[in-house]
Each structure stands twice: as C-alpha cells, then as structure tokens.
Structure 1
Amino acid sequence: MRTIDINISLTDGDIDEFPNKDNVGLVEVLNNRVMITLSRNAMIGLGKQLIKLAYTNFQDGYHVHVDPCEEGYTSQPMGFYSHPKSAEIIICCSEFESIDKCMK
C-alpha cells in the first residue's frame, strides 16, 4: 500500500500556490447531471481546502462560492481556479443525518 503525508495549514488565508497555476477545474451541468473535471493539482487543492473547511469554519449553512475566472478576475477560494466556461459552484456545510435515515 502506498501512503503520503500531507500537511494542511489551518490558518485562514493560507492557500497552496501551484507555480504553473495548473490547478484548474471545470464544472458542467449536463441534462440534470453535474460533471466536475479537475486537474491533478486541482484535486489536491480542493481536497486540502475541504479538510481545512471541515476543521475551521464548519457550521450548518456556511457556504463558499467558487466563481469562474474571467479577464482581470481570478480566484481560488477552494484550492483551484474555476475554468472560464465553468458553472458557478456553491459548496455548503450541512449536518446531515445518517444515510439510512435519509433513505426513509
């Protein structure tokens, strides 16, 4: 089994920098389906930001908007740049019951 060690800063404002800015994701809505396509570095950036969110700002209803990049505006609030052709993503925190209770 392969393992890796990853250090995640829980300090607000700390976002991993990928020198080539190749941490890019594209979200598309296709006939009632959502397809999320991420580069390897976007997967790493998103994963780290989700773990950070779970340990720092998690509260029911808290949410983060990820807007597509455009000329003069780029941001990566969840560890990746959203492709200019991407749909906006809103990542929300919620305290769900167990899946068994949700299925009833």
Structure 2
Amino acid sequence: MMAKRPGRRGWHDVDKTDIRVSELLQQFLMQQEDRNHSPKTVRWYSDMLGRFVTSLPTEARLRDIDAASIRVYLHNNRQNGASKFTLHAYARTLKTFLRWLLREGYVDEELHR
C-alpha cells in the first residue's frame, strides 16, 4: 500500500455532506443510464427524485437530508392529495436513492434507515 503524502486528502477525508443534492441526483441518473436501465426508468427516477430535490431549500446539500425532511416531504404530498400508490412510489424511489448514497460512501447506515 502506498503511503499517503502529507497534506493530501483522500475520499474518506472529504466532507461529503457539503455536496449539493442536485449534483448527487445527476450522478445517480448517469449511473442508471450506464447500467443500461431503460430511458423510461431513468425518466421515472428523474421525475420522482426531482420532485424531492425541488422540495428542499435552494442549493440544498446532502447534510440537509434527514429522516425528518423525508417525512415532511411525504406528509406534504399526502396533504396535497397524493394517492397511497403515489406515496409508496415516492418512498420506494427515495429508498433506492438512499441505498445508492450508502453504497457510494456518501452517507452512513444511519441516514439510510
């Protein structure tokens, strides 16, 4: 294993919570395309997750996402008349995105739950 040069930061040293959620969404969507998901599937993720991102403050960072922000998002959609099917679709899609964030090392186990 190579020694780390003094003053150099590795991936684990970077504050990943400072990354904009919109940038993470774009990375997620690119990966879905690279995995040969159908254009319809990628559009689904883009639409569903795009709604969540626009519900966050402008230029929201990863640190702005927590269980409370997700609950508020789902609650607001329920209050606005979203069906049980739609709410389940939002929750399922958010769970997929959170699992991706976990696999890619952006979040720890805590946020995923």
Shared fold (TM-score greater than 0.5)?
Answer: no
TM-score computed with the length of structure 2 as normaliser = 0.29
Higher helix share: 2
